Homo-oligomer: A and B are copies of this chain.
Amino acid sequence: MRRDEIPPGTLHLLILKTLARRGELHGYEIARTIQQNSEDVLQVEEGSLYPALQRMLLKGWVKAYWGTTAENRRARFYRLTAAGRKQLQVEESQFERVMSAITRVIQTA
């Protein structure tokens, strides 16, 4: 998940999508999920993840609460809000729109 690899903002999209599917997860779990689903292509650094979650909290796309994991550890869990669900739709279609445009350019040139 490097600056020179992925679109800025894509991390938001990936987090939103992951939460939409999985319901509620804590940060570390979100990172591992994305990493696994990408078959280890996308490495989600903690220094990217937590700031991203902070931004998303501020924007009201997610809400958070403290709880305990299955292994009895303290962790902060995140859940999508209605605004987050709407944002997911926006970002998903935006992503699709731009990526197919780029693909078009690459294939046409």
Contacts and interface: CB of A to CB of B under 8 A. Distances in A.
Nearest to A14: B105
Interface stretch (A36-44, A45-53, A66-74): A36-44
B14 A9 contact: no
A51 to B, nearest CB: 16
Nearest to A4: B9
A13 interface: yes
B101 A38 contact: yes
Interface in A9-44: 9-10, 13-14, 17-18, 20-22, 33-34, 37-39, 41-42
A101 B39 contact: yes
A98 B18 contact: no
Given A18-B109, A42-B105, A109-B18, A98 B5 contact: yes
Given A17-B106, A34-B105, A38-B104, A6 B7 contact: yes
4 cross-chain pairs, A with B, having the tightest CB-CB distances, nearest first: A21-B109, A41-B101, A38-B101, A7-B7
